[in-house]
Amino acid sequence: MWPTAWCTRSRGSAAGSTRMWRRCRSRRGCVCGVASTSGALGTARAAGLTRWPARDRTQSGRSRRRCTRERHGVRCRQRGSDRSSRGKLTMNATTEQSTPAGVMDASYAEGRRAKPHLAFRYKSRALNACNAYRRFGPGEASPRVLDLGAAEGATMAEVHRMLGASESIGIEYTQELIDASGPMPEGCRLVRGDVTAEHEAVEPGSFHLVTALAIIEHLKDPGLMMAQAAKALVPGGVFVASCPAGTWDAVSGKLGLHKDEHHEDAIDRSKFEALAEGAGLESVRYCRFMFAPVGFLPYLRLPVPAGLADGVDRALRPLKVFDPFFVNQLFVARKR
């Protein structure tokens, strides 16, 4: 499989004989091309500088790595664009720019059903959210739950079942993920919307629990989302958010355990408390969860019940020496 965008750099003082086409990884001197005989690529091809087979020159429609430099009025996508047309390339670039970074697609839902470590993560988050509601919530036996950034609804459904919720509504940005959802418990539904804006399905002051699990780090302005959460809560209602711990976020990203390139900002306790205060919420709980050695076992396809992992967290959490070994953070705030 050959790349669709290449770059040319002069290795010596004289251009031409010392110039060759290479994978487009350079931060300078990069030329984005499409499979045609026009433009910079056509010029290079005429000069005999291109080195891929003729049969691949007009082949299109495959997902390949592409150059990310912006030249000649187009910006190549990292994947999925059609290399045979500038028009299609420009259209895909526009689509990509209109969708916020960090928004998942249907493959995320498929992964959570098929990969044990992804299922373990959402079940652990759901259990911690339920524990926080039981401890700090208004005491409603069958609460109404709002899940912000619900993806395909797996976490929301887990919370709904554990709390015996009367109704749960999940807000998700992309229709592709909503369409990828499986069967939902009675009273659960997903609606498309932006978590930082008002939604007609969300009646102000009517939810006992609002969750934002593994989404706050993806937002450019998480304060907007927290303002919507505060507006949706009943007095005494609870807002629960989670995000990776900063150090482990970077380490696991380097190891390829998850993709962290779409994380907008590192959220810590002080930043969350400031955001909560700005939204009219009172921060009531901060803790870390998911002890790293336990959280790694599902990557080895060793099943770990969320309840067992929570028991380990509870046993080790009081010992501050273990703080660096918890990979996630839990934030809990209450509406005054």
pLDDT tens track for 2-59 = 333 434 333 343 333 333 333 444 334 344 433 333 344 444 444 444 343 334 333 4
CA-CA distance, 332 to 285, in Å (whole number)? 5
Q: Is residue 253 in some structural domain?
A: yes
Helical spans, DSSP H, in the chain: 39-46, 86-98, 106-114, 116-136, 154-163, 175-179, 222-232, 246-254, 269-278, 292-296, 306-316
Of 115, 203, 202, 189, which Cα lies nearest the Cα of 153? 189
Do residues 217 and 250 lie in contact, with contact meaning Cβ atoms separated by under 8 Å?
no
Residue 127 shares a structural domain with residue 90: no
Do residues 315 and 289 lie in contact, with contact meaning Cβ atoms separated by under 8 Å?
no
Do residues 192 and 178 lie in contact, with contact meaning Cβ atoms separated by under 8 Å?
yes
> Which of 51-55, 280-284, 329-333 is predicted least confidently?
51-55
Residue 110 pLDDT: 87
Give the pLDDT mean for 80-109.
48
- Please give the structure tokens belonging to residue 38: 């026009």
- Please, which residues bridge with residue 74 across strands? 71
Do residues 151 and 78 lie in contact, with contact meaning Cβ atoms separated by under 8 Å?
no
| Domain boundary pick from 65, 98, 131 | 98
pLDDT at 283 over 70: yes
pLDDT tens track for 288-325 = 999 999 999 999 999 999 999 999 999 999 999 999 99
Residue 55 shares a structural domain with residue 187: no
Residue 124 shares a structural domain with residue 70: no
Residue 109 pLDDT: 84
12 vs 114, more confident: 114
pLDDT confidence of 257, banded at 50, 70, 90?
A: low
Q: Is residue 1 in some structural domain?
A: no
Largest CA-CA distance found in the chain, in angstroms, rounded = 78
Specify the length of the chain in residues.
336
Query: How many domains is the chain built from?
Result: 2
CA-CA distance, 184 to 165, in Å (whole number)? 13
Residue 66 pLDDT: 41
pLDDT at 164 over 90: yes
Do residues 171 and 148 lie in contact, with contact meaning Cβ atoms separated by under 8 Å?
yes
| Domain boundary pick from 77, 98, 119 | 98
Classify 332 as helix, strand or coil: strand
pLDDT at 114 over 80: yes
Residue 38 pLDDT: 39
Residue 266 pLDDT: 79
CA-CA distance, 101 to 139, in Å (whole number)? 37
Mean pLDDT across the chain: 76
φ/ψ of 289, rounded to 5, equals -145, 170
List Cα–Cα distances, 217 to 51, 263, 266, 307, in angstroms.
43, 5, 6, 25
Residue 111 pLDDT: 85
Q: Is residue 198 in some structural domain?
A: yes
Of 335, 35, 22, 84, which Cα lies nearest the Cα of 209? 335
Residue 223 pLDDT: 95
| Domain boundary pick from 51, 76, 98 | 98
> Which of 34-48, 122-136, 143-157, 257-271 is predicted least confidently?
34-48
What is the arrangement of strands in the sheet containing 144-148, beginning at the earlier edge strand? Answer: 188-192, 167-172, 144-148, 207-213, 233-244, 326-335, 281-291
Residue 252 shares a structural domain with residue 130: yes
Residue 94 shares a structural domain with residue 218: no
CA-CA distance, 139 to 107, in Å (whole number)? 37
Residue 147 pLDDT: 99
CA-CA distance, 302 to 164, in Å (whole number)? 29
Residue 198 shares a structural domain with residue 318: yes
Give the pLDDT mean for 261-266.
60
Residue 233 shares a structural domain with residue 272: yes
Q: How many CB atoms lie within 10 A of CB 249?
A: 20
Residue 47 shares a structural domain with residue 117: no
Q: What percent of the chain has pLDDT over 70?
A: 64
DSSP class of residue 215 equals -
Range of the domain at 215: 106-335
First to last CA, the chain: 58
Give the pLDDT mean for 84-100.
37
Residue 82 shares a structural domain with residue 208: no
Residue 14's contacts (CB-CB under 8 Å, 6 or more residues apart) are: none
116 vs 107, more confident: 116
pLDDT tens track for 170-228 = 999 999 999 999 899 999 999 999 999 999 999 999 999 999 999 998 899 999 999 99
CA angle 177, 253, 300 (to 5 degrees): 80
pLDDT at 83 over 60: no
Give the pLDDT mean for 131-139.
97
Q: How many CB atoms lie within 10 A of CB 65?
A: 16
Q: Is residue 158 in some structural domain?
A: yes
Give the pLDDT mean for 155-166.
98
pLDDT at 259 over 60: no
Most confident range, picked from 19-23, 35-39, 82-86, 115-119: 115-119
Residue 126 shares a structural domain with residue 70: no
Q: Compute the chain's Rg from CA coordinates.
A: 24
